[in-house]
Amino acid sequence: QTWTNGINEAAKMALLAWEKETGIELVQINGQRHYGGPPPGWEGSPPPASTEVYIGRLPQDIYENTLIPLFQSVGRLYEFRLMMAFSGLNRGFAYARYASLQDAQRAIATFHRFQLCQGHAIVVCWSTQKRELLVSSLPASLSQQELEARLHMVTEGIHSVTLHTSPGQKQDKLAVLKYKSHRAAALAKKALMEGNLRLGKEVMRVDWLDPQLKKKLQHCKEEPSSSWVQGGKSLAVPRPVAASLSLQNVLECLNLLCWKHCLNTPLFMTRCVQVNPNGWQKFWYRVVIPGDDEPISGFTWVSPDRQGQCKQEKAKMVAALHVLRLLGESLHSQLPAF
């Protein structure tokens, strides 16, 4: 475990001593520090998601050596997750998943408005299992295929993606992302916000999906999957099943589009320019199409430790999709109006 800048050093040292004394193992991944899931000695299936409670308004200098024994005092914990900031302080909230519904109810009854320390009454309530995110400020030219491909590269656990015309801004689009679990959705929200992902001129906004907006969108027709069509022949990127959209598929579509319009094969350059503490890598990319005066360049964040595709390939995929979209727009604008 790497601590940052000596902030809250005494509490951090106390936590390390507690881990050593108890033999408890804490694992930090993507801004969350985990205990259990399952804990040592657990037998049988995991408890249902409904046994999880939300713990809010935590003092940021308090860690698991205080919180886990406290919440274990009313029932058996299956999992405890403390949200962490880069500084090493906690982010003020955590989740405790109990072995039974009765234990979770007891935790809420015992610890809601509990004075954890002077002037700090914590909030303990049922965890809301939100699984849907709203992504807005997306460009009108964005296709379903490009959006899904980018999301699969930086998040995991996607169940479905639907693209809509923005009700308030007709020139923009918005998307509803449904994930397989609340945890996957929460991790995706954090990754998309901290990755500063751009799919157009504006940085896209990511929020939990509001129930009222969800009802409104359900009455609207979803956007059909788009494609680049030239000369009466569709050059659509195949719609990915899970993360099946491959770099080879995208490059084949891009090369075919260039060939049809008498352009040479694009040349790609990628370089890692930044790595954040969670292992995310920021790549710069440039694509040159011989014969074209202006290269296309940009930046993208690539997620850590995803199997089956190296980070350079993921950056190249983003660059290829960017060029494919811009080239399709440019060629479309040159078509005569009828």
CATH number at residue 175: 3.30.70.330
Most confident range (mean pLDDT) of 124-128, 255-259, 323-327 is 124-128
Residue 232 confidence (pLDDT): 32
Which of these three, 95, 126, 157, is where a domain ends?
126
Task: Select from 336, 132, 295 the least CA-distant residue to 217.
Answer: 132
- Give mean pLDDT, residues 96-113: 95
Distance CA(227)–CA(229), nearest Å, equals: 6
**What is the band of 199 on the pLDDT scale with cuts at 50, 70, 90?**
low
Q: Are residues 46 and 89 in the same domain?
A: yes
Whether 226 is covered by a domain: the verdict is no
Query: Which domain CATH number covers 313?
Result: 3.30.160.20
Residues near 110 by Cβ (< 8 Å), separated by ≥ 6?
A: 74
Tell whether 233 is covered by a domain.
Answer: no
Residue 322 in this model has a pLDDT that exceeds 50: yes
Average pLDDT over residues 213-217: 78
**Which of 4-18, 274-288, 306-320 shows the lowest per-residue confidence on average (mean pLDDT)?**
306-320
Task: State the Cα–Cα distance between residues 29 and 32, nearest whole angstrom.
Answer: 5
Q: Assess if residue 240 is contained within a domain.
A: no
Domain, as residue range, for 19? 9-126
The last residue of a domain, from among 209, 236, 263 = 209
**pLDDT over threshold 70, residue 278:** no
Considering the domain architecture, whether residues 68 and 143 belong to the same structural domain is answered as no
Q: Are 20 and 119 within one domain?
A: yes
Beta strands of the chain (E only): which ranges?
27-29, 32-36, 52-56, 77-84, 90-98, 115-117, 120-121, 123-126, 132-139, 158-165, 172-179, 205-208, 229-230, 233-234, 267-275, 281-288, 296-302
Residue 230 forms part of a structural domain: no
Q: Are residues 152 and 180 in the same domain?
A: yes
pLDDT surpassing 90 at residue 95: yes
Which of 97-101, 157-161, 325-329 is the least confident region? 325-329
Is residue 166 located within the same domain as residue 263?
no
pLDDT the model gives residue 27:
93
Q: Has residue 225 been placed in a domain?
A: no
pLDDT of residue 275: 80
Q: Are residues 171 and 89 in the same domain?
A: no
What value does the mean pLDDT take over residues 312-328? 78
State pLDDT tens for residues 117-140: 888 899 999 987 788 999 888 888
Does 164 reside within a domain? Answer: yes
What total of structural domains would you count in the chain? 3
Residue 170: predicted pLDDT: 57
pTM: 0.52
How many angstroms separate the most distant Cα atoms in the chain?
77
Average pLDDT over residues 109-115: 94
Same domain, 264 and 177: no
The answer to whether position 51 is within a domain reads yes
**DSSP tag of 203:** B
pLDDT of residue 235: 33
Interval 164-176 mean pLDDT: 75
Q: What percent of the chain has pLDDT over 90?
A: 30
* Comparison of pLDDT for 55 and 202, the residue scoring more: 55
Above 80 in pLDDT, residue 217? Answer: no
**pLDDT of residue 337 exceeding 60:** no
| Average pLDDT rounded to a whole number, residues 34-58 | 92
Which residue among 76, 107, 126 closes a domain? 126
Do 120 and 13 share a structural domain? yes
pLDDT band at residue 241 using 50, 70 and 90 as cut-offs: very low
Pair (105, 33) in one structural domain: yes
Tell me, yes or no, whether 29 and 110 share the same domain: yes
What is the residue whose two structure tokens read 């993921």? 314
262 and 188 in a single domain? The answer is no
Mean residue pLDDT across the chain: 79
- Predicted pLDDT of residue 188: 86
Q: Give 77: exposed, middle or buried? Use CB within 10 Å, 0-12, 13-18, 19+.
A: buried
Are the C-beta atoms of 38 and 27 separated by less than 8 Å? no
The verdict on residue 234 lying in a domain is: no
- 43 and 76, same structural domain? yes
